[in-house]
Amino acid sequence: MAEPDFDALTQAARQAMAAAYAPYSGYPVGAAALTDGGRVITGCNVENASYGVGLCAECALVGQLQLTGGGRIVAFACVNGAGETIMPCGRCRQLLHEFAAPGFRILTPLGVRDWEQVLPQAFGPADLEAPQ
């Protein structure tokens, strides 16, 4: 499989970031992903006056994944308000893991990494199927 176009994903994430609603933190975030079906999906963060109910960009992205036909994420990029590559928080890493395709790759501030390098020994659906 060819290396995903992370420049294009970063640009899509920057466009999504422009739609973020971040009046409280002043920290807009945009995310973009390539699906196994070839679609590019995006998300932005949406804050709320009740801070705990805000949504991360990755949450919006996974919602778009499901709304536009499902599938698995093969590549992912996330940016801040300056358009710089950032890492998903721990909660969002777990969320992305649920929808990651085999061989999932992520753009990090240190370059492209395999998902296992970012979230080693991750807990996922297979763990729920294991005998206890």
Q: Give yes or no for a contact between 58 and 95, defined as CB atoms under 8 angstroms apart.
A: yes
84 assigned to active site: no
Q: Is 100 exposed, middle or buried (0-12, 13-18, 19+ CB in 10 A)?
A: buried
Neighbours of 57 (CB within 10 A): 28
Neighbours of 122 (CB within 10 A): 16
Catalytic: which of 58, 84, 98, 116? 58
> Annotated active-site positions, please?
58
